Every structure is written in C-alpha cells, then in structure tokens.
Homo-oligomer: A and B are copies of this chain.
Amino acid sequence: MGEKVCVIIGFGPGLGTAYAEIFKEAGYDLGLLSRSGASLDGAEPTDTSVRAYKCDAGDPNSLKGALASVQSDLGEIDVVIFNADLAQFGALEDVSELQFEQSWRVGALGLFATAKLLGPQMSERGSGVIIISGATAALRGNVWTTAFAPSKSAQRTLANSLAKQLGPKGVHIVYLVIDGVIDTKDTRTNFAPNESDDFFIKPACIAETALMLANQDKSAWTFELDIRPFGEKW
C-alpha cells in the first residue's frame, strides 16, 4: 500500500479515470466510487492499492457507507476528488421536479454528506484535501442550465463555506471551474462529433492541475481556478 489515499467520488471513464491515473502515478492508493462499481481499466484484481466501490453519490447513506469501507480497506483518506455530477441540461419545460432534485442531490447534498463525514476527521488530523470538479454554471445560470446551474452553484458556495471553516484547521478545499467540453468517448461521439482536438479539454491535463493543487503548501492555497482550452470563446 502507498502512503496516501485518494478517493474519487463519481469515478468513470473520462475525467474520473484521468484523476485515478494521475494520483496512482503519484503514489496514492485509490478508492473509486461509482454507481456501477467499475474499477480502473487494467487494474489487476490483485492490486490492493486500487479498490472500487458501488454507491450512489446522491444518497448520503450509500455514500457515507462507501467512504467508511474505503477507510476500513485503505486507511485514512488524504484526498477526495468530488467528481459526481448528473450534468442534466435542459430548459424549464424539459426539466422535471425529480430531475431538478436529483441534480442537486448528487452535486450538492453528496458534497455535504462527504464533508459531514470527513470534514471533522480531516480537521482533527490537521490535513486533508477536497477537490471538486465544478463548472462555469456554478457562477451563472443559462437557458440550458435550469437544473445544472442551481446544483453547481449550491456545490460551489458550499465548497466556499467549507473552505472558510476547514481551511484554518488545515483542510484544503478546491473548486475547479471547468469551462469547456472534456475530451471523452461520449462527448466526441454525441456532444461535439465534428470538433477538432483543439476544441476539447484533455482530462489528463485537468488531473495534473488537480494534483499540483493537492500539493500546494498551506501558506499559499488556491480555492478556485478556471480551466479551459486555449481556443475557447468565453
């Protein structure tokens, strides 16, 4: 086992996998939480430094249960990457009350449950990092973000509140404002099939910045930063 443990809440192909690979390479043991319980491609079942857990990030009990299992299996959690997100887009008429709620459940309540469980432990240890995959929708609503913007903005101001509470106790909270389309099989196929490479954010590059932030000295912490491809119109 490595010396440090990183949990990725909302593991999956694309960004979740990029986070996993970069933190694994940096020597972290990994706890991968997802609805499907998937593990890292190519991870040997015998590799006890990578473990997958099935859970629903929108259900506090399910989430806290999985986090407890990680702690029992791998030990104290040093870094949490909160990457869970429903990413539901639609105008007012497209979004049901249920979808509006589920979007908030995963994005905001899930982060709250994570902080309720791990915040006090990290505070007591005087260390810990929670990095959240955010979005520009956290800052403003738009026509297609009737459910997404409220979920992400709730997540961001919660993160901001946590940063001010837990920062002085040595716990580093980071909010990544990801502004652009991440390069995944899904976005290449369904969302932006005709775009060139330059249009997309490479997941590995987000993950590299996240790792750097996880290593920042506490005299100079970043709470929030934007990430976008060089050619993005903004």
Q: Hey, which bits of chain A sit against chain B, CB under 8 A?
A: 60, 91-93, 97, 100-101, 104, 108-109, 112-113, 115-116, 119-120, 137-143, 145-146, 149-168, 170, 172, 183, 198, 200-202, 205-206, 208-209, 212, 216-234
In this complex, the member of A97, A137, A201 whose beta carbon has the largest number of chain B beta carbons within 10 angstroms is: A97
With A104-B154, A155-B150, A161-B143 already in contact, the answer to whether A220 and B216 are too (CB < 8 A) is: no
Q: Is the CB of A231 within 8 A of B104?
A: no
Cα–Cα, bound, A13→B212 (Å): 26
Q: Is the CB of B201 within 8 A of A205?
A: no
Cα–Cα, bound, A164→B52 (Å): 41
Q: How many copies does the complex hold?
A: 4
Q: Give which listed residue, B100, B150, B212, B229, contacts A221 with CB less than 8 A.
A: B229
Closest to A220 in B: B205
Q: Is the CB of A149 within 8 A of B141?
A: no
Minimum CB–CB distance from A71 to chain B (whole Å) comes to 19
Cα–Cα, bound, A149→B112 (Å): 12
Q: Is the CB of A141 within 8 A of B161?
A: yes
CB-defined contacts of A163 to chain B, threshold 8 Å: 141
With A165-B91, A229-B221 already in contact, the answer to whether A156 and B153 are too (CB < 8 A) is: yes
Q: Is the CB of B234 within 8 A of A220?
A: no
CB-defined contacts of A157 to chain B, threshold 8 Å: 137-141, 145, 149-150, 152-153
Minimum CB–CB distance from A84 to chain B (whole Å) comes to 15
Q: Is the CB of B116 within 8 A of A108?
A: no
Closest to A159 in B: B141
Q: Is the CB of A149 within 8 A of B168?
A: no
With A221-B228, A226-B223 already in contact, the answer to whether A142 and B113 are too (CB < 8 A) is: no
Q: Is the CB of A234 within 8 A of B150?
A: no
List 6 A-B pairs, minimum CB-CB distance, nearest first.
A141-B161, A141-B160, A205-B220, A225-B225, A150-B154, A149-B157
CB-defined contacts of A230 to chain B, threshold 8 Å: 167-168, 170, 172, 218-219, 221
